[in-house]
A and B are shown apart, each in its own frame.
Chain A
Amino acid sequence: MNAIGTDHNWPSGPLNRKDTLLIGIGNSSRADDGLGWSFLEAVENEPGFEGDIEYRYQLQVEDAALMANYALVIIVDAFQGRLAEGFQWQACRPAPQFEFTTHALAPASVLFLCRDLYGATPTTYLLAIEGAEWGLKEGLSPSALANLNAAVASFRQLAWPAGKETA
């Protein structure tokens, strides 16, 4: 992910719903590129999330059919660049942004196909987490790990606004 607005678009309403789909994009063999997957692992490791979780290297066309089954979709991805808080929430809207190979499909494009092919436009947010290292390496850099923790804390706050114990 390399293009994103400068301000948070905080998700409105609770995130922890059965009709929520959480998608993590990345590759854990490419250092901080694994942020999306690490985020999912963090959510999976603490019980209580009621939605569904999917790991992806990249989004693909069939994800349009998958997303059509949900009311809320959260796509978590590493970000190459600076983010003021180390992470950022961004609303995602359908848009035809297409590449010239099959190797990448933008979240907005998948949402576009979701709307036009399946008549569904789930509320969708991108959660971008700033990474620093992109070489061949397993494990996150210290700064990416800090950003991950901040992003997970933000997610937790939005998923369980009244606190997890009472959720």
Chain B
Amino acid sequence: MTSKITIDPVTRVEGHGKVTVHLDAEGAVQDAFFHIVEFRGFERFVQGRPYWEAPVLVQRLCGICPVSHHLAAAKAIDQIVGIDPEDLSSTATKLRRLLHYGQVLQSHALHFFYLASPDLLFGFDAPPEKRNVAAVAVEHKELATRGILMRKFGQEVIRAIAGKKIHGIAAVPGGVHKTFTLQERDYFLQENDTPSIDTLIQWAQETVNFIKSYHDKHYQWLDTFARYPSGHLGLVGPAGELELYHGRLRAIDANGNKTLNDIPNNAYIKYFAEGVAKWSYMKFPYLKHLGLRDGWNRVGPLARLNVCDSIPTPLAHKEWVEFRNYTNGKPNNSTMHSHWARLIEILYCAEVIKVLLEDDAVLGDDLLREGPRRPEGIGIIEAPRGTLIHHYQVDEKGMITKCNLIVSTTHNNEPMNRAVRWVAQNVLNKQPRITEAMLNEVEVAIRAYDPCLSCATHALGKMPLHLEVFDHEGNLLDERYRN
């Protein structure tokens, strides 16, 4: 018998993660689901609005990565004003890249410091009062303050380019709103109340060394926990190198065979479809030619380091080589290695930021370009959590008639369900009661993806994780909340 699962629509405004585990008559795990109450109405919200509003409006999709939505929308709207990525001025392109790499850096730093480090430093079987960032602050003060300063550096880059961390305007159709001043640029080259970019690179290297050292001691757990074969998707540059701002879409299968061969952004609609499941509001993107069952892909740091052929900055590339050698050049399917990959990307971002800061083009005044109007635009970017797609169509008056967004967490919907299923089968199997440690193992698997459960929803205090176990007749055996 299959139990009936419902999601209360009220939770749509709350941001809510729910895991249900279903047992067979012998108490073995039959299936497990991660229900995400994802917010989709924004696509309709922007319809009827003028196209030039889109990059500003979509910032309110997500309070954590508004810059990613801002830039993905701007890239799409560029095309509506007749500008392809290569047509942007050098100054506009480099300022946007600087903004984007600052955004990824701060988001990754937050993830590692806030989410990953408590599990790694104290172990996921540590008592909950210890397994959080507060304990890190008490027992590893330097790591905690570094985490905050790395995050702050990225936030200050955003503030310098966009004007404000909230309500800021950086990208406008066909370019950028303002240039960088010499004073703004020099702030990041020198030690201030935030570290200089050179210090940041040094800290990023030390943090990668930390995770490698940790891995040496705990590789059995890190290598196997929530590991499952999957496809991987991400943008790559012209030479197959890691690229976060603009590139071609590449996907590989679990063995490293290309399943999407560096297609241009505008071709995404030909290759991607989105499936639905009655137990989740969130869709399941997949590659059409592989079908719903086999065409899903992980996105994010682990996927990006799997699909690329190199990293175009020297220190991060050296780390990437070591990372890839660990799996003999094959795709790395270990969920917990996402943390390792994320820290390599922090180093990569810091190196790119240094290159951009030292390039006088960011001080230029050639900010805007315009070409013949078009009815459609597609912008794809690598957001911190993975590939983010914005697609708009406009009428002759410039009003948005259609908007399609595929956000990173949507790509990771099936992967997160696989990770949860792994935990259910390996940890919860034939266990009549849910312990605190079990709940945390479910959390650890989900945390590796840091899902955006309800973008830009008012979430203070309202993002619990709810784990339920049902017997073979659909009766609730046990449940546990994490508030």
Binds B, one of A10-18, A98-106, A139-147, A148-156: A98-106
Cβ-based interface call for A44 (8 A): no
Asked if A7 is an interface residue, CB under 8 A from chain B, the answer is: no
B254 proximity list for chain A (CB < 8 A)? none
**Closest-CB distance, A27 to chain B (whole angstroms):** 5
Stretch in contact with the other chain, from A55-63, A82-90, A158-166: A55-63
Q: How far is the CA of A44 from the CA of B176 in the complex (A)?
A: 28
Question: Cβ of A1 and Cβ of B450 under 8 Å apart?
Answer: no
In the bound complex, CA of A106 to CA of B138 (Å): 18
Spot the interface stretch: B127-135, B199-207, B269-277, B343-351: B127-135
Q: Give the distance to chain B from A88, nearest Cβ to Cβ, in Å.
A: 15
Q: Which of A80, A103, A104, A136 contacts B42 (CB 8 A)?
A: A136
Contact of B134 among A25, A27, A109 (CB under 8 A): A109
The answer to whether B460 touches A57 (Cβ under 8 A) is: no
Q: In the complex, A136→B129 CA distance in Å? A: 36
Answer whether residue B431 sits at the interface, using C-beta atoms and an 8 A cutoff. no
Decide: A30 and B456 in contact? CB cutoff 8 A: yes
**How many A residues touch the partner, as a band?**
35 or more
A157 to chain B, nearest CB (A): 26
Residues of chain B lying within 8 A (CB to CB) of residue A100: 17, 115, 443, 446-447, 463, 465, 482
Cβ 8 A contact of B138, one of A29, A77, A103, A116: A116
B224 interface residue per 8 A CB criterion = no
Structural contact, A117 and B141, CB atoms closer than 8 A = yes
B113 at the interface (CB under 8 A from A): yes
Complex CA gap A45/B233 in Å reads 47
A42 to chain B, nearest CB (A): 16
Chain A residues near B462: list those with CB within 8 A: 2, 80, 104
In the complex, residue of chain B having the shortest beta-carbon distance to the beta carbon of A134? B13
Residues facing A in B124-171 (CB within 8 A) are 129, 132-135, 137-138, 141, 144-145, 147-148, 151-152, 155, 164-167
CB-contact partner of A55 in B148, B166, B451, B458, under 8 A: B166
- Are B134 and A102 in touch, CB under 8 angstroms? no
Q: Could you say which of B57-65, B179-187, B257-265, B325-333 contacts chain A?
A: B57-65
B155: A residues at CB distance < 8 A: 62
Q: How far is the CA of A109 from the CA of B62 in the complex (A)?
A: 21
**Which residues from 4 to 62 on chain A have a C-beta closer than 8 Å to any C-beta of chain B?**
25-30, 33, 55-62
Q: Which residues of chain B are within 8 angstroms of A1 by Cβ–Cβ distance?
A: 460-461
Alpha-carbon distance A61/B111, docked complex (angstroms): 11
Q: CB-nearest residue of chain A relative to B151?
A: A62
Residue of A nearest to B150 (CB): A62
Tell me whether B175 is interfacial, beta carbon within 8 Å: no
CA of A57 to CA of B113, assembled, Å? 20
Q: Are B463 and A134 in contact (CB under 8 A)?
A: no
Distance A97 CA – B135 CA, assembled complex (angstroms): 11
Task: Tell me, yes or no, whether B452 is within 8 Å of chain A by CB.
Answer: yes
Contact of A104 with B463 at beta-carbon distance under 8 Å, contacts A98-B132, A135-B13 already known: yes
A99 neighbours in B (Cβ, 8 Å):
463
**How far in angstroms is the closest Cβ of chain B from A97?**
8
- Pick from B132, B141, B144, B463: contact of A103, CB below 8 A: B463
- For A55, the closest partner residue in chain B by CB is B166
Residues A103 and B151 in contact in the complex (CB < 8 Å), given A28-B60, A55-B164, A55-B167: no
For residue B268, CB closer than 8 A to chain A, the reply is: no
Q: Is B237 in the interface zone, CB < 8 Å from A?
A: no
**Interface size of B in residues (CB-CB distance below 8 Å):** 56
Task: Say whether A3 faces chain B, with CB atoms less than 8 Å apart.
Answer: yes
Q: A60-B151, A117-B141, A136-B42 are in contact. Are A101 and B166 (CB under 8 A)?
A: no
Q: Is the CB of B144 within 8 A of A117?
A: yes
Residue of B nearest to A65 (CB): B148
Find out whether the CB atom of A26 lies under 8 angstroms from the CB atom of B458: yes
Provide the residues of chain B in CB contact with A96, threshold 8 Å. 129, 132, 134-135
Tell me the bound Cα distance from A54 to B66 in angstroms: 16
Q: How far is the CA of A61 from the CA of B136 in the complex (A)?
A: 12
Q: How far is the CA of A117 from the CA of B167 in the complex (A)?
A: 29
Assembled-state Cα–Cα distance A136/B362 (Å): 37
The reply on B114 being an interface residue by CB < 8 A is yes
Q: List A contacts of B234 (CB < 8 A).
A: none
- Flag if B60 contacts A29 (CB, 8 Å): yes
CB distance from B288 to the nearest CB of A (A): 30
Q: How far is the CB of A114 from chain B (nearest CB, A)?
A: 10
Name the one of A29, A55, A106 contacting B461, with C-beta atoms under 8 angstroms: A106
Is A64 part of the binding interface, using a Cβ–Cβ cutoff of 8 Å? yes
B150 to chain A, nearest CB (A): 10
C-alpha gap A65/B151 in the complex (Å): 11
B177 shortest CB reach to chain A, Å? 18
Closest A residue by C-beta to B134: A96
Q: Of the candidates A57, A117, A135, which one forms a contact with B63 in the assembled complex, judged by CB atoms under 8 Å apart?
A: A57
A29 partner, pick from B45, B459, B460, beta carbons under 8 A? B45
Residues of A that sit less than 8 Å from B by CB:
1-3, 25-30, 33, 55-62, 64-65, 77-78, 80, 96-107, 109, 112-113, 116-117, 134-136
For this complex, 18 residue pairs linking A to B, each with C-beta atoms less than 8 Å apart, are A2-B461, A27-B457, A56-B63, A58-B460, A59-B460, A61-B114, A62-B148, A80-B458, A100-B17, A100-B446, A100-B463, A101-B450, A102-B111, A103-B452, A104-B459, A105-B114, A106-B461, A112-B137
Hey, which bits of chain B sit against chain A, CB under 8 A? 13-15, 17, 41-42, 44-45, 57, 60, 62-64, 66, 107, 110-111, 113-115, 129, 132-135, 137-138, 141, 144-145, 147-148, 151-152, 155, 164-167, 443, 446-447, 450-453, 456-463, 465, 482
Q: What 9 pairs between A and B have smallest CB-CB spacing?
A: A57-B63, A96-B134, A33-B458, A29-B60, A98-B132, A134-B13, A55-B166, A104-B459, A116-B137
